[in-house]
């Protein structure tokens, strides 16, 4: 039986993510992993998150999860969601500047709000344009709308790791992929049919970028 670990570091909507994974992969074993040993035993890992990046990185360091997360992201199918995307980059300007895991190059910045024209946080449904093919896009139409809730964004829209972009005042990375890592700024567990399809694709993915 395949095991998927949902990283539990005290932040994030874990229950809805776990329930969505159970729905799309009823034969898989979905576990919450709050320690490095449990995380290491999983066949695939989901890194969800909501809240502040500083608290996230402090929690990973306090619970000795940082090294385990980095190792999982090098070895197994790995899905980052929302803060779980932002934490993969080198740095966020949130909280005066916080170092991320550095698994992806680039920086996370605060939305400007386009001079007050746009509300911050960016909340609600928005389109994702697929700028590069990937197995996790299988069965999901280009420019499908997904559900977002965030004030900070990955300022890496032109990076080779970017596989999806979204416009909100400026263009930002809404999906990134590198090797066995796939990460999204939106919440697939809140994005109805398209979000469930992406999670289903992840549960069937072997971590390779080419289509089978």
> In the annotation, is 189 catalytic?
yes
> In the annotation, is 82 catalytic?
yes
Q: Active-site residue among 122, 134, 150, 187?
A: 187
Task: Spell 52-80 as b/e; 16+ CB within 10 A means b.
Answer: bbebbbebbeeeebbebbeebbeebbbbb
Contact present, 132 and 165 (Cβ < 8 Å): no
Q: Active-site residue among 122, 134, 150, 189?
A: 189
Q: Active-site residue among 82, 94, 122, 134?
A: 82
> In the annotation, is 187 catalytic?
yes
CA distance 173 to 171: 7
H or E, element range at 182: strand 181-184
Nearest residue to 118 (alpha-carbon basis) of 82, 186, 167: 167
Backbone angles phi, psi at 167, to 5 degrees: -105, 130
Q: Which two tokens stand for residue 52?
A: 């502040």
Structure-derived torsion over alpha carbons of residues 25, 51, 156, 64, reported in degrees to the nearest 10? -70
User: Which positions are annotated as active-site residues?
Assistant: 82, 187, 189
């Amino acid at each position: 039986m395949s095991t998927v670990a949902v990283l539990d570091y005290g932040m994030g909507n874990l229950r809805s993510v776990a329930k969505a994974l159970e729905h799309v992969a009823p034969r898989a074993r979905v576990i919450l992993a709050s320690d490095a040993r449990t995380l290491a035993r999983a066949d695939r890992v989901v890194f969800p998150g909501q809240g502040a990046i500083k608290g996230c990185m402090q929690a990973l360091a306090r619970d000795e999860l940082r090294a385990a997360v980095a190792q999982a992201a090098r070895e197994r199918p790995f899905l980052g969601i929302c803060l779980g995307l932002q934490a993969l980059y080198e740095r966020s300007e949130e909280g005066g500047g916080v170092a991320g895991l550095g698994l992806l190059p680039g920086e996370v910045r605060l939305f400007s709000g386009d001079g007050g024209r746009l509300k911050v946080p960016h909340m609600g449904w928005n389109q994702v344009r697929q700028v590069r093919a990937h197995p996790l896009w299988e069965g999901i139409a280009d420019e499908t709308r997904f559900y977002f809730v965030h004030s900070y964004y990955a300022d890496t829209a032109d990076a080779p790791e970017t596989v999806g972009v979204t416009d909100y005042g400026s263009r930002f990375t809404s999906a990134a992929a590198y090797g066995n890592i796939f990460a999204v700024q939106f919440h697939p567990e809140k994005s109805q049919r398209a979000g469930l399809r992406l999670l289903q694709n992840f549960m069937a993915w072997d971590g390779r970028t080419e289509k089978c």
